[in-house]
């Protein structure tokens, strides 16, 4: 069985719980079925809480639970810590660190700052990811040859003043450039999640696969590998 000190698992969505880049292997779907068993056990108090910790928004995180079952209570840290969500009860709470100044800055980013960057690239290569309430993401289409690091460099140049003022931070993944509040990250999202659930940070096991997950790793007591078979082993040990 799992170590008694593990009270919950926090799982990154893209590339860990769900394959979002490249061909989806058949084992992915059977693996999700295995995860759903643990979610069901957790809802009955027979297994530690399972929650998603992702840079994605409500709809994307909720869709992942359609595959593995919807857990009870607070079960999602979304938009890289800006919100904590209870998908079963359809509740979402803003991180107390989120200020009106930050929200207004991100409205300006999506409406005025990012369109000039997108205009430098072929329209069919990139799109502004829909659904986020605060954070901004520019995603590369599967067939695009755009180099993400070059795109990230262009975004950083466009937002240099906001980066210097420590209002925003920019991260690049394999498929997207994510723009998030510098004052909020998955670390603070974990702390807010713990405040709502009563779970201590050291009692959490975080599973992620990118630099964007480092703040989560700093907050939790144990960390896991994104390889799916090892992920399932972590859940069952």
Tell me the per-residue pLDDT of 84-119, one tens digit each, with 9 for 90 and over: 999 999 999 999 999 999 999 999 999 999 999 999
Domain extent at residue 37: 8-95+184-236
* Whether residue 25 is found in the same domain as residue 123: no
The answer to whether residue 135 sits within a structural domain is yes
Say what the pLDDT of residue 173 is: 80
* Whether residue 90 is found in the same domain as residue 192: yes
**Boundary (domain end) residue, out of 181, 211, 228:** 181
Residues in the chain with pLDDT < 70?
1-4, 21, 226-237
The answer to whether residue 2 sits within a structural domain is no
The answer to whether residue 1 sits within a structural domain is no
Q: CB-based contacts of 85: which residues, under 8 Å, 6+ apart? A: 58, 61, 62, 74, 75, 76, 77, 78, 91, 92, 93
Q: For position 83, which CATH number holds?
A: 3.40.50.1000
The answer to whether residue 3 sits within a structural domain is no
Structurally, the chain folds into a number of domains equal to 2
Say what the pLDDT of residue 210 is: 76
The answer to whether residue 129 sits within a structural domain is yes
* Whether residue 49 is found in the same domain as residue 115: no
pTM of the full structure: 0.84
The answer to whether residue 217 sits within a structural domain is yes
Contact 89, 194 (CB under 8 A): no
The answer to whether residue 36 sits within a structural domain is yes
- Please state, in angstroms and rounded to a whole number, the distance separating the CA atoms of residues 54 and 52: 6
Residue with tokens 């205009």: 119
* Whether residue 91 is found in the same domain as residue 192: yes
From the list 94, 115, 124, 211, the residue with the least C-alpha distance to 159 is: 115
* Whether residue 144 is found in the same domain as residue 125: yes
pLDDT digits (tens, 9 = 90+) for 159-170: 999 999 999 999
* Whether residue 46 is found in the same domain as residue 81: yes
* Whether residue 126 is found in the same domain as residue 69: no
* Whether residue 74 is found in the same domain as residue 19: yes
* Whether residue 69 is found in the same domain as residue 116: no
Structure tokens at 99: 């200020």
User: What is the radius of gyration, based on Cα positions, of the chain?
Assistant: 18
The answer to whether residue 49 sits within a structural domain is yes
Say what the pLDDT of residue 1 is: 44
* Whether residue 23 is found in the same domain as residue 90: yes
Residue 131: Cβ within 10 Å count = 12
Residue 22 region by backbone torsions, left for phi larger than 0, else alpha for psi between -120 and 50, else beta: left
Say what the pLDDT of residue 227 is: 54
* Whether residue 91 is found in the same domain as residue 189: yes
């Amino acid at each position: 069985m799992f170590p008694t000190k593990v009270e919950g698992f926090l799982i990154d969505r893209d590339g860990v719980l769900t394959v979002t880049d490249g061909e989806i292997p058949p084992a992915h779907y059977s693996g999700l079925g295995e995860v759903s068993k643990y979610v069901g056990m957790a809802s009955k108090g027979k297994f530690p809480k399972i929650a998603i910790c992702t840079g994605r928004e409500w709809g994307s995180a909720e869709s992942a639970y359609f595959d593995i079952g919807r857990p009870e209570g607070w079960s999602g840290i979304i938009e890289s810590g800006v919100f904590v969500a209870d998908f079963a009860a359809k509740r979402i709470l803003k991180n107390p660190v989120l200020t009106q100044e930050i929200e207004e800055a991100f409205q300006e980013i999506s409406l005025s700052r990012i369109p000039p960057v997108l205009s430098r690239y072929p329209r069919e290569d990139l799109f502004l990811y829909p659904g986020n309430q605060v954070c901004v993401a520019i995603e590369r289409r599967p067939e695009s040859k755009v180099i993400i690091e070059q795109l990230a460099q262009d975004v950083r140049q466009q937002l240099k003043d906001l980066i210097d003022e420590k209002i925003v931070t920019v991260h690049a993944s394999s498929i997207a450039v994510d723009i998030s509040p510098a004052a909020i990250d998955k670390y603070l999202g974990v702390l807010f999640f713990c405040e709502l659930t009563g779970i201590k940070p050291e009692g959490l096991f975080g599973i992620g696969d990118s630099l964007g997950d480092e703040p989560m790793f700093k907050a939790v007591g144990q960390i896991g590998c994104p390889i799916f078979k090892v992920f399932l082993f972590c859940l069952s040990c």
